[in-house]
Structure 1
């Protein structure tokens, strides 16, 4: 069942606006026609902001109300993720203090994150010999951080996607299937044809646009869901390239490679919004208990596409369960990582071998659930399943990649996958980040000692862990 709209508490942002205008509470209260005590209660989040007061703010101070409702550039989840690093062990910073920092001192929160990331990157460089590469931030790292900084939610793209989807099917005689309707639109409005070719012709490409002949070429190895997404991607790029370019420019990527990667990422987001319009997708997700099979059937998408879309449901007034998603190959390499809220793994960490994300390869195509606990005490409900790599078509065996999807345990009662489980006294598996960042002991699955702890190897005894280390 969907949650009702939350009351609007904007105390910290209203206080910042007042300070920017160099006004006292008494003066601002007089300008707005309210008492100083009432304004004080609002700034302390003891009273919500009414619609009338918002309109008065816009009228008196010429304020764009969207700037008040937008969150700061730094998210609570980013700070919580940084604080989960072993470097901060023992601090136990309460969540309400993190929220207060983000809301009331966003510049300080940003400074903290910059300092932490510099430390983490230096640590990664120092330990490059352990197999983590150079530790320098790559264009892919930059794009991933930018997307996560936006909490994987781009409202303008959701709006464009909903509008385009509605326009595709506005005609009662429009084809029932998305791909057919999208192909017709590309042909009739943009003189762009779509052709499917064998892999011998496409060679390494699964999708390629030929601007000279105005053709979108697709490999026949693409399954129906991947083919529909490729057409949606071309439609997004063709009709909204200017908007995408503006968003990329506003993000100010550091180099040309990051520029191109970010545009691809945002175009993928818009394509998903066209295929799975926010309102309809969110309603079915809530009504079905986030049943991925139902979402796949309704929107003609793959398991991975539906799961990825579930990490983007952060629209105010219509928020979904805040999921995180991670995708790995059989060697444990992370190729996707998205989150609508907190993400329980450090930036340089891989998936813990105790998490059944890896065990999913032994049961291809089957959804496996697990409740895990991270070192900070956070508990997460997770579900994992294998998926085919793009381009394998319908002949794949579902063992190429494993997808992990999860949310905080407190949201699990809303999921169809948790029905029948005892969520009050669940069976919990303790996990950690990558072994070099994890301080859980003892652990039989440990593959490497932690970075900042001394080994305690004893030739008189053998631990279940291959790398026992000093405690405390």
Structure 2
């Protein structure tokens, strides 16, 4: 938690109502007056550290959820939206956004919903069809990418499989054969030139491409097992998402099934224990659990079991053009995940140059937060357009003040003055005299002086 005042009236009210409590009952449990609780719920008083601890104890939840519950992602989320060119003639600073959040949280939420629907390439009065990927992301982040029931079932199943054989892939294959009358067959790339996996129910076979490495074969086998043996739990979570869009529903189901497969390969308690013993050393985690770098990175964003939480990592996956194909905030509340653009001073972009190395960096954002990041290039499977093997960079990050225990932070000075100052992409960044700047901040008016030129290509109000 940061030192700034936290106003979370809407979140407190939801907690109270979900517990079926009146303001009088909750105020008694917190040892405060009903009138003071009323002020808190109306965002006229901030939460103290004592009240946050009492609430966490009473409702058994992570107090960081209060920050995540701020409309639109709080000040950082609003700042990102106000960086849109639509608002370039306005100067809306953080103080104004903070006051708006406190005074009218429902109005902020309404603005966020409206803005997020707007197609920035269309006239302001036109709207795009809801993006199924964004719909699924919202549902995943609502759960902070931690699905406790799926983890519990996967963990139990993993223990049962481990008793049968030391080789997880072999144990899954045997269970599929004996319990579900399904066999696994590895087929040549020439037979499956454009497929990595195919379930042939007529032949009762899971057919896998020979192009899959051992970690991917295990994952695909575990995925099929999850589709069968965790179907009811996954059905319940999908139904709870209440998706009206069929594509979003299918994407969410895919995410949950993938989550379950990862839970079999990297059972929660054993994986968290290994993380803490090794300092989250990714290479060791890969070897110990027979997983790939990207699979481990995914798993690191899910460690939020009540009473057994890991570090709150976020994860991004980008391609060479900088496009994001995966993003998980987990419990991190990291602005870097939500940002549309990225700063070229973040070394995530340089990881393509040294694909075998993990690049580390301590970053400082304009909001004062610091983030320790790990980036490494990975290759996809098969060949894309033009016959090229797909390449991506996986970016992982955790709050700077939590990074001291990481193996990858050994020997790195994590003090604030050693952090690289970056922004959330040039249009949203107001840092002055940055020679790497490619565009002016849309929230500032440009200034011109024909008699001199600074290091940066643009000068703007506040410079």
TM-score (norm 2): 0.80
Hey, what's the Cα distance between the residues in 1 that align with 2:14 and 2:140? 27
Q: Is the 8 A contact 1:153 1:314 kept in 2?
A: yes
Quote the residue 2:149 is aligned against.
Answer: 156
SS in 2 for 1:147: helix
Q: Which runs of 5+ in 2 are unaligned?
A: 1-10, 38-47, 83-91
Measured after TM superposition, the shift of residue 227 of structure 1 is 1.2
SS in 1 for 2:412: coil
Quote the residue 2:395 is aligned against.
Answer: 404
Q: Is the 8 A contact 1:78 1:149 kept in 2?
A: no
1:18-97 correspondence runs (5 A): 20-22=20-22, 24-25=24-25, 37=31, 45=50, 75=69, 78-79=73-74, 81-85=76-80, 87=82, 89-91=93-95
Measured after TM superposition, the shift of residue 152 of structure 1 is 1.1
Quote the residue 2:134 is aligned against.
Answer: 141
Alignment CA distance shift 1:454-1:47 (3 Å): closer
SS in 2 for 1:413: helix
For the pair 1:303 / 2:274, whether they are aligned, the reply is no
SS in 2 for 1:386: strand
Measured after TM superposition, the shift of residue 211 of structure 1 is 2.4
For the pair 1:124 / 2:115, whether they are aligned, the reply is no
SS in 1 for 2:283: helix
Once structures 1 and 2 are overlaid, which stretch shifts more, 157-166 or 382-391?
Answer: 382-391
2:227 to 229, 234, 237: 237
Alignment CA distance shift 1:337-1:109 (3 Å): farther
Measured after TM superposition, the shift of residue 446 of structure 1 is 2.6
Quote the residue 1:331 is aligned against.
Answer: 321
Quote the residue 1:60 is aligned against.
Answer: none
Q: Is the 8 A contact 2:198 2:207 kept in 1?
A: yes
SS in 2 for 1:232: helix
Hey, what's the Cα distance between the residues in 1 that align with 2:110 and 2:146? 22
Quote the residue 2:428 is aligned against.
Answer: 437
Hey, what's the Cα distance between the residues in 1 that align with 2:349 and 2:191? 35
Hey, what's the Cα distance between the residues in 2 that align with 1:156 and 1:175? 25
TM-score (norm 1): 0.78
Superposition RMSD in Å: 3.9
SS in 2 for 1:176: coil
Q: Is the 8 A contact 2:16 2:22 kept in 1?
A: no
For the pair 1:316 / 2:313, whether they are aligned, the reply is no
Q: Is the 8 A contact 1:386 1:402 kept in 2?
A: yes
For the pair 1:165 / 2:169, whether they are aligned, the reply is no
For the pair 1:349 / 2:345, whether they are aligned, the reply is no
Hey, what's the Cα distance between the residues in 1 that align with 2:150 and 2:366? 36
Measured after TM superposition, the shift of residue 333 of structure 1 is 0.7
Measured after TM superposition, the shift of residue 117 of structure 1 is 4.1
SS in 1 for 2:151: helix
Q: Is the 8 A contact 1:361 1:399 kept in 2?
A: no
Q: Which runs of 5+ in 1 are unaligned?
A: 1-10, 55-64, 129-133
| Number of equivalenced pairs | 426
Hey, what's the Cα distance between the residues in 1 that align with 2:257 and 2:281? 26
Measured after TM superposition, the shift of residue 304 of structure 1 is 1.1
Hey, what's the Cα distance between the residues in 1 that align with 2:191 and 2:179? 28
Quote the residue 1:268 is aligned against.
Answer: 258
Q: Is the 8 A contact 2:68 2:333 kept in 1?
A: no
For the pair 1:222 / 2:226, whether they are aligned, the reply is no
For the pair 1:212 / 2:174, whether they are aligned, the reply is no
Hey, what's the Cα distance between the residues in 2 that align with 1:299 and 1:73? 33
Q: Is the 8 A contact 1:74 1:110 kept in 2?
A: no
Measured after TM superposition, the shift of residue 445 of structure 1 is 2.5
Q: Is the 8 A contact 1:345 1:432 kept in 2?
A: no
Hey, what's the Cα distance between the residues in 2 that align with 1:15 and 1:196? 50
Hey, what's the Cα distance between the residues in 2 that align with 1:367 and 1:317? 30
Measured after TM superposition, the shift of residue 169 of structure 1 is 1.8
Hey, what's the Cα distance between the residues in 2 that align with 1:254 and 1:461? 57
